[in-house]
Amino acid sequence: MKKVILLVVLGLGMTSAWAQKIEAFSSPVQVNFKAKDTSAPEILIEYGTVTDVMAQTERVIINVEDIGGGINTVTVNSKVYEGKGQVRVRIEEDAMPGTELVIKATDISNNVKEKNHQVRFKAVPAVVAATPAAVTRHNYAILFGAQDYEDPNINSLSEPLKDAERLKKVLVNNYTFNENEVKVIKNPTYETMVNTFDSLRRLVTDKDFLLIFYAGHGFYEKETEKGYWLPVDAKKDSKSKWYRNSALKDDIESIPSKHTLLISDACFSGSIFKTRSAFNNASVEIAKTMNTPSRKCLTSGALTEVPDKSVFLDYLIKELERNQNKYMRSEDLFFAIREPVRNNSEITPLFGVIQSTGDEGGDFVFIKKD
């Protein structure tokens, strides 16, 4: 207690000169009581909307936040984004579902946060019930053009991409297909095909029409009686990336469209009919046709090879262009082109039901624009 009193007395008795010396000595000294930043940035993932409804990719939004000091860099796989000391950085990446994203965020204090994220299909939003008058039908078209093959033992083609673009043009210009709902898939790989059908399964509703077109190599194996499409990464000596007809049928069955029409312009494309023959020219009322589910296929030939330059597609597009009727069933299209194709080539087009996929006797109807 005496020491305390003594100190107080000395403090009270300090001369002004001493006080000035202490002030002069201590004034330049600044003590920073702010703790060192040891917190790594936060990484949050969300999914946005892709403007192209038929796109194969998902819009992944990567939000990085570092309130403690600011962000230096963000690396997404091999891409580096500069943070420039900002507290928040937002990065948008379009990636295929199943893609692995390796994300690394570093702040200005060299704190690091890493996160691995596998791109998924974003959750499908709940559908709000609507009155029948408010229901909108979409006409979707997926057009595969397999042309530039990677395996030197498989001949590349010259026409499939042109044919897919020609078909897109007539669908958009002449019929009720919106351009953003018609997608040309250029040089599809096996994975691209799988992901495309996965996307369609989530996109297409039981009100919609779906047209699937394939131009490229096909193969029919006599020993097993199996048919295949050959994506551009197919290997001649391995069937691991050949797209089987049975898988295609399963995909078509799983897509909940009102009507699906498959047009295949490939060698041996008629093998899709292995369990059912093409049918006759039975006439059905259009209204009933459109209201009854269907799964039909129109092919350029049976179990035969077809030329790269497609007479089949030439007449198909020609008929779609010159058609003057408001409604044209795919069966009518088939009978309009069958004889011209047979008379001007060595192939015979086929048309019929894709069996065991949900066909109930309806038909895909091309509706001409007003």
Residue 158 identity: S
Contacts of 8 by beta carbon, 8 Å cutoff, 6+ apart? none
Q: For the full predicted model, state whether its pTM sits above 0.85.
A: no
Per cent of the chain over pLDDT 90 is 33
pLDDT of 16 > 70? The answer is: no
Tokens, residue 359: 């066909």
Q: What angle do CA 74, 75, 77 make, to 5 degrees?
A: 155
Is there a contact between 186 and 145 (Cβ–Cβ < 8 Å)?
yes
Mean pLDDT of 7-25: 40
**What confidence tier does 220 reach under pLDDT thresholds 50, 70, 90?**
confident
Identify which of 135-139, 239-243, 244-248, 309-313 has the greatest average pLDDT: 239-243
What domains are there in the chain, each with its CATH number?
42-118 (2.60.40), 132-367 (3.40.50.1460)
**Residue 235 or residue 349, greater confidence:** 235
Average pLDDT along the chain: 77
How many CA atoms are closer than 13 Å to the CA of 218, on its beta-carbon side?
A: 30
pLDDT of 124 > 60? The answer is: no
**What confidence tier does 142 reach under pLDDT thresholds 50, 70, 90?**
very high
Question: pLDDT for 182-191, tens place per residue?
Answer: 999 999 999 9
pLDDT for 46 equals 83
